[in-house]
Amino acid sequence: MKLLAHSLVRIETDNAALVFGVTEDGKLVQLIFGSKAEECGEPSVAYPTWGDGWVYEPAFQATHSDGNTSVDLRVTDIIQAENLTRIQLGDAAYALRVDLLFRVYPKYDVIESWTEVSHDEPGEVVLQTFASSSLDFGQGEAFVTQFRGDWNDEVHMEEERLTYGLKVLDSKLAVRAHQFRAPWFLLARGGPAKEDEGEVLGGSFAWSGSFRFSFERLPQGSLRAICGINPFASAYRLSTGETFETPRMTWAYSPSGTGNLSRNLHAWTRAHVLRDGHQSRSILLNNWEATYFSFDETKIFSLLDGAKDLGIEMFLLDDGWFGTKHPRDSDNQGLGDWTPDPKKLPNGVRAVADAAATRGLRFGIWLEPEMVNPRSELFEAHPDWAIRQPGRELETQRNQLVLDLSNPDVEAYVFSLVDQVLSTDPGITYVKWDCNRYVTQPGSPYLPPDKQSHLPVLYVQALYRIFDRLAKAHPHIQIMMCSGGGGRVDLGAMRYAQEFWPSDNTDPARRVLMQWAYSQFWPPIAVSAHVTDMGHRPIDFAFAVAMSGRLGMDMDLDKLSSSERDLARKTVEAYKGIRDVVQLGTQYRLQSPFEGPRSALMSVLEDRAIVFVYSLGESPEGPLQLRGLDASRNYRVREMMKDVETIHRGSNLLEEGLPLPAYGEFGNGVFELTAV
Ligand code: DGJ
């Protein structure tokens, strides 16, 4: 393959380089992806299309308006300005264009990659496969880590070597990215991923619907990753003159292990993805695990009193507050009818918001605006607003259906319903946005027969428009992104939110592992971590675990013993003193809970640090090496819940470590370090 001498396109961050070239016949080839120090390797096809000789997994396949199923792309222009590179490709024989776009965030070693597809053909072009990103990782060994799971059991880290053939990580859930697998993965080169050494990439897809990551080791030995919207049953008929923009695939690069990768991703996510990524968060009490559907105003007021007494700053009223004809007393009715249940809340939501305000608490509310129970006034009035397929018995999950956001009337309805709830009760400053099912019968009563396969794409696009309009109309409202737990922890949805609900599994013993897994990609400020009595673990352990994220509680405070109440009060107070360090600091993972009974994390902000130690079994005494401190300074180390203080030299803490005692099961320590 001969390259045009002047054709190199370098896309660079501080440590990574993605280099393309153009062959004499105008084909785009990839020469490097990885360390900046890498020499240009063998050219490989940059964005393989079906029909120009490529016989492996393609990044792009389309049917032209005349029925031709092949695509042959040649470079027509390359535009580089500041941090954005646009490589324009055009079909050699058709008026079809595919632009490859790359945005770099140099200091975080992050590259976003996506495409724009358009055409001027005389009829529709059907996009069959339309990946956001296709990269070649060369010949070396590579290991992928996926984050798999299920409801109540999210993000198990599972690593495997990629051998010859195709490995696909995908989801076909349409309205959420994740139930069985998160839309992010690690890819380690040369050996399994390690915390502090080795070349590793993080791939994360900004889309809250069906996705597909394919890894194919070709017969020649090189490994290719193709990432984008899942093309399964999602063909998209692109009209003449229309532009289809694919979601962004984010690649983060680290030459020195996953720890560095995560720290960069945390900082980038706070700066460029999350809303208010630099503002610390309120401590909240949620009533879900305290009451489930069974509460009334008196009970809620009593929880508000409890919250105030403990120093909690916000109350979140969860599911069950609405429904008149079909009161939401269980999950089998009422969803869709967003008027307060007069039996539970005779004075409306406003009375609760006011009662919260009188106690000095912020107030938040649970909504699941995209869904409907068949037993609801909304469904009775609009049976054609639900996603369903003709001739099939309606299949519910959690007794509910998904509203058809591809229908503009439904999109407008969902926006105005949330807008109205927020405008009617100005006391609301926080929303938990839930989504408790995925799609199994992907049919739209609104879309014409030849556009049924557009539903998965149109749904997510409409959802983002709703999120966007709401964020603009109600900028002070904070959002907890929830989807029956962690189903929408993706870069697409999280652009509109401040934090996410990681899982309905709140057992702190499980959360230690989950929080470790989430931390690979997500900063502690985004992780809603609530103290509950799930698992019946010691409450101090539950607090220590929750304090390493955004602390909250989800318990019936009326049932706390007086010693538990004292501990809760003291811990909430203590968290207020350290939350800036936890939420706005730099996190180091010190000891993995997958490698032994004792695990540890720490966060550092300027001259302060917080260290969390958790023991999931019997762990012997032994030092814990710390990170991120100034070797030349002394640190006052205070074990927070015990008020014991010692002074240590930074260099000792970094090299020999902080001496720790033996811990029994669920033993824990939270240490505050201050440079003196
Ligand atoms: C699923 C969420 O994950 C829970 O926290 C709770 O809000 C329920 N939905 C309410 O139905």
User: Which atom of ligand 1 lies closest to the CA of 554?
Assistant: 5
CA of 434 to the centre of ligand 1 (A): 7
User: Which atom of ligand 1 lies closest to the CA of 483?
Assistant: 3
pLDDT at 35: 93
Q: Is 92 exposed, middle or buried (0-12, 13-18, 19+ CB in 10 A)?
A: middle
Q: State CA 175 to chain mean position distance.
A: 14
Asked whether 87 and 99 are in contact (CB, 8 A), the reply is yes
Asked whether 539 and 561 are in contact (CB, 8 A), the reply is no
The widest CA-to-CA distance across the chain, in whole angstroms, is 78
CA of 580 to the centre of ligand 1 (A): 28
pLDDT at 88: 98
CA of 109 to the centre of ligand 1 (A): 36
* CA-nearest residue, atom 10 of ligand 1: 319
- Cross-strand partners of 503: none
* CA-nearest residue, atom 9 of ligand 1: 484
Which residues, including other chains, have CB under 8 Å from residue 458's CB and lie 6 or more apart?
405, 406, 444, 447
Angstrom CA distances, 255 to 108, 263, 546, 558, stand at 12, 13, 31, 51
String of b and e for 63-80 (b: at least 16 CB within 10 Å)? bbbeeeebbbbbbeebee
Asked whether 477 and 428 are in contact (CB, 8 A), the reply is yes
Angstrom CA distances, 77 to 9, 27, 48, 664, stand at 11, 12, 18, 64
Structure tokens of 536? 């019946």
CA of 482 to the centre of ligand 1 (A): 8
User: Which atom of ligand 1 lies closest to the CA of 366?
Assistant: 7
Asked whether 351 and 321 are in contact (CB, 8 A), the reply is no
- Cross-strand partners of 45: 29
CA of 484 to the centre of ligand 1 (A): 6
pLDDT at 40: 81
User: Which atom of ligand 1 lies closest to the CA of 331?
Assistant: 11
Structure tokens of 570? 């003291």
Nearest to 25 by CA among 48, 49, 54, 3: 3
For a ligand 1 pocket test, name from 284, 366, 397, 435 the mutation site with the most ligand atoms within 8 angstroms of its C-beta. Answer: 366
The 3-class secondary structure across 279-318, one letter per residue, is CCCCCEEECHHHHCCCCCHHHHHHHHHHHHHHCCCEEEEC
The 3-class secondary structure across 379-430, one letter per residue, is HHHCHHHECCCCCCCCCCECCEEEECCCCHHHHHHHHHHHHHHHHHCCCEEE
User: Which amino acid belongs to residue 146?
Assistant: Q
pLDDT at 520: 98
For a ligand 1 pocket test, name from 291, 318, 437 the mutation site with the most ligand atoms within 8 angstroms of its C-beta. Answer: 318
pLDDT at 7: 80
CA of 528 to the centre of ligand 1 (A): 13
Residue 636 DSSP label: E
For a ligand 1 pocket test, name from 152, 288, 365, 431 the mutation site with the most ligand atoms within 8 angstroms of its C-beta. Answer: 288
* CA-nearest residue, atom 1 of ligand 1: 484
Q: Which residue ranges have their beta carbon within 6 Å of ligand 1?
A: 288, 318-319, 366, 434, 436, 482, 484-485, 501, 504
pLDDT at 365: 98
Nearest to 627 by CA among 600, 592, 602, 661: 602
* CA-nearest residue, atom 5 of ligand 1: 504
pLDDT at 42: 86
pLDDT at 637: 98
CA of 669 to the centre of ligand 1 (A): 30
pLDDT at 39: 83
Q: How many CA atoms lie within 13 A of 397 on its CB side?
A: 14
CA of 480 to the centre of ligand 1 (A): 11
Angstrom CA distances, 643 to 132, 571, 636, 668, stand at 52, 12, 12, 14
Catalytic residue annotation: 434, 504
pLDDT at 5: 65
Asked whether 269 and 250 are in contact (CB, 8 A), the reply is no
Look-up: residue for tokens 């018995």? 393
Q: How many CA atoms lie within 13 A of 575 on its CB side?
A: 31
Low-confidence residues of the chain, pLDDT below 70?
1, 5-6
User: Which atom of ligand 1 lies closest to the CA of 432?
Assistant: 7
- Cross-strand partners of 228: 212
Mode of pairing for the β-strands spanning 598-605 and 608-615: antiparallel
CA of 553 to the centre of ligand 1 (A): 14
What is the rounded CA–CA span in Å between residue 90 and residue 479? 41
User: Which amino acid belongs to residue 188?
Assistant: A
User: Which atom of ligand 1 lies closest to the CA of 398?
Assistant: 11
What is the rounded CA–CA span in Å between residue 201 and residue 18? 13
Asked whether 131 and 181 are in contact (CB, 8 A), the reply is no
* CA-nearest residue, atom 11 of ligand 1: 319
